[in-house]
């Protein structure tokens, strides 16, 4: 078995393979909340563009995207949620850029 560099173990639920047990467990919790009617429109691995692609001096640059683990609606609000074991520097930067672009806070679930 190969371990992820942050010691996460891939886990499969409902035929979906998650990057960690923590993310898989959160998915199971959210599915229960959705069945109970507490949340709706649960989506997984939702991409958000935080910087469009562009060309400068003839060189093309790819867009920068943030992929949220879960997006759902609760009490009339759209919740963008990330489940991580640790907040990496890249995550912190993308979270700030996401907030500046979309005006929504990312809810962070930590172990």
Dump pLDDT digits (tens) for 56-84: 999 999 999 989 999 999 998 888 888 87
User: Rounded mean pLDDT of 101-105?
Assistant: 79
What are the boundaries of each domain within the chain?
A: 11-109
Dump pLDDT digits (tens) for 37-51: 999 999 999 999 999
Q: Rounded to an integer, what is the distance from CA 45 to the centroid of its chain? A: 6
Long-range contacts of 29-35 (CB under 8 A, 24+ apart): 30/70, 30/72, 34/72
Q: Tell me: pLDDT of 106 over 80.
A: no
Tell me the CATH number of domain 11-109, given options 3.30.160, 3.40.1350, 3.40.50, 2.50.20: 3.40.1350
**pTM, entire model:** 0.79
> Which strand (E) or helix (H) includes residue 71?
strand 64-74
**Do residues 87 and 108 touch, judged by C-beta distance below 8 A?**
yes
């Amino acid at each position: 078995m190969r371990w992820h560099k942050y010691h996460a173990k891939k886990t499969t639920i409902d035929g979906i393979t998650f990057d960690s047990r923590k993310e898989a467990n959160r998915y199971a919790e959210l599915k229960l909340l959705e069945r109970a009617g507490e949340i709706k429109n649960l989506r997984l691995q939702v991409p958000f563009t935080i910087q469009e692609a562009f060309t400068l001096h003839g060189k093309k640059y790819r867009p920068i995207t943030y992929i949220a683990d879960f997006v759902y609606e609760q009490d009339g609000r759209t919740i963008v949620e990330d489940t991580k074991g640790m907040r990496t520097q890249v995550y912190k930067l993308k979270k700030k850029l996401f907030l500046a672009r979309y005006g929504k806070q990312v809810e962070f679930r930590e172990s």
